[in-house]
Structure 1
Amino acid sequence: MEDPVGEVSKVVSLITTAASPDIQKAAFLRYFTSDAGFRHPLCNVTPSPGSRDKLLGIYQWYRIMSPHLDLTVTSVVQHNNVLLLDIVQKFHLRLSPLKPAPARLLVRLTLREENGLHYIAFQEDFYHPDDFMAMLIPPLSPVIRAALSATSIMSGIYAKVGQLLGFWSLESSHSHTDTRGLYD
């Protein structure tokens, strides 16, 4: 890529929603280093000679599982050789009778510059648990959200109990603490 921020949405589309396996493979050969790595909640490819082929296999399986995939890159931020992409996708399992739900993820791409072009050397995918479930079994997303809310409530209760027992206790009963000077 000559202009990673301007081109990455097209690249992501080519590797995830390509119309054919040949187009997808050509995109991998063009935009990924031959030793590209990948980290995802369900799989991992360690960067090594020829690892791009393993990563291509994962994306080929991804397309087999979900032949009708919608994906939108909503924003891109670049800092040095790292791109952060905010993505919304609708992943629909091939034989699932369930309606797909949008799932949001953050993708971190580490780039390597060679001869004035930028190549993807490492990809990391980050999902919230409920968004990840929305991809696989959409009706369970509200259950996951409820469980996350319950653990938040329980954390507050456990904090109060811990403070009563003398752990991580506040020094004063004031609800507002002066933070001036803390960050100097």
Structure 2
Amino acid sequence: MENPEAEIAGVIRSLTQGTRKEQQKVLDDYFLPDAFFVHPFCRVPSFGSKQVRVPLTNFQLTINSRLLILLIYQWYRILSPRILLEVDSVAHDKKTNSLYATIRQTFTIWIVPFSIWQANVQLVCLLNLEHLQVDKNKQPLLSHGDNKNVGKASGKRYFIRGQQDHYQVNEFLKFIAPLGASSLYYLWQLFATFLSACGVALLWPVTSVYEYAVVQPNNNGQQQGNGNAQIDTSENH
């Protein structure tokens, strides 16, 4: 990606709504071979390309973590062939090379007749980026294997090092327990808020005693120490 904020919505739509070929092309173009993936229900740790022999054959298969991410997205499309998705906002933190996208999606399992159950969920997708030199085919020149090609670099692009999907608990409950579990968790959150208010009302004397006996003396000691330090500095001058 040359402009992550402008391009990431199209990348997300191709991964979640595209054909198998579109999914593979997007992953090959934008994800690093050893990219990682974290989701409440699955995880792909980062690992580079490895040769694996298919059992009972002489066929060698090259696998890496990006291939497993592809299989997750393909399974995602099999479970829900028709996915409605909107990218509401995107923000790029250039200091940490982090890209944040807030997403709304409607997930419908094909085996459920007449779409009587749908998971309408919200999430924040965090993408960890790397700004790397690329060759003439806009593929990354990776330091561990492509040092000899650095002289052939043709600019730099952003690539996805890893993806982390963050859901609130009540959101991912919609996937696994659609019949009221999310609402029950919402009620539990309200009850926990009520307990917090009751705890403060009943135990405020404990807080007051703690602040008087511990916090206030410590603060006074710090202020006195800072004052002494200033005096010592002035004397040295």
The alignment's TM-score, normalised by the length of structure 1, stands at: 0.83
State the one-letter code of the partner of 1:34.
P
Which residue of structure 1 aligns with residue 192 of structure 2? Answer: 151
Which residue of structure 2 aligns with residue 109 of structure 1? Answer: 127
State the one-letter code of the partner of 2:190.
S
Which residue of structure 2 aligns with residue 118 of structure 1? Answer: 158
Which residue of structure 2 aligns with residue 88 of structure 1? Answer: 104
- Aligned residue for 2:81, secondary structure, equals coil
4+ residue runs of structure 1 moved beyond 6 angstroms?
A: none
Distance in 1, matches of 2:80 and 2:200, equals 43
CA drift of 1:16 comes to 0.9
Number of aligned residues: 170
Distance in 2, matches of 1:168 and 1:92, equals 53
State the one-letter code of the partner of 1:39.
V
Change (3 A) 1:162 1:57: farther
Change (3 A) 1:53 1:103: same
Structure possessing the higher radius of gyration over alpha carbons: 2
**Mapped contact 1:93–1:136 kept (Cα < 8 A):** no
Which residue of structure 2 aligns with residue 75 of structure 1? Answer: 89
**Mapped contact 1:90–1:103 kept (Cα < 8 A):** yes
Query: Structure 1 unaligned runs (5+)?
Result: 173-184
- Residue deviations 1:42-71, cap 9 Å, x none? 111111112111111111111111111111
State the one-letter code of the partner of 2:93.
H
Distance in 2, matches of 1:82 and 1:168, equals 42
Percent identity, please.
30
Q: Which has the higher helix share?
A: 2
Match of 2:72 among 50, 53, 58: 58
Which residue of structure 1 aligns with residue 15 of structure 2? Answer: 15
State the one-letter code of the partner of 1:53.
L
Query: Quick check: 1:127 aligned with 2:167?
Result: yes
CA drift of 1:156 comes to 2.8
Distance in 2, matches of 1:147 and 1:31, equals 41
Which residue of structure 2 aligns with residue 99 of structure 1? Answer: 117
Which residue of structure 1 aligns with residue 24 of structure 2? Answer: 25
- Aligned residue for 1:95, secondary structure, equals coil
State the one-letter code of the partner of 2:21.
D
Query: How large is the RMSD of aligned CA atoms in angstroms?
Result: 2.1
- Aligned residue for 2:174, secondary structure, equals helix
- Residue deviations 1:18-41, cap 9 Å, x none? 1x2111111111110000011111
State the one-letter code of the partner of 2:34.
D
Change (3 A) 1:74 1:171: same
State the one-letter code of the partner of 2:192.
T
Distance in 2, matches of 1:42 and 1:161, equals 40
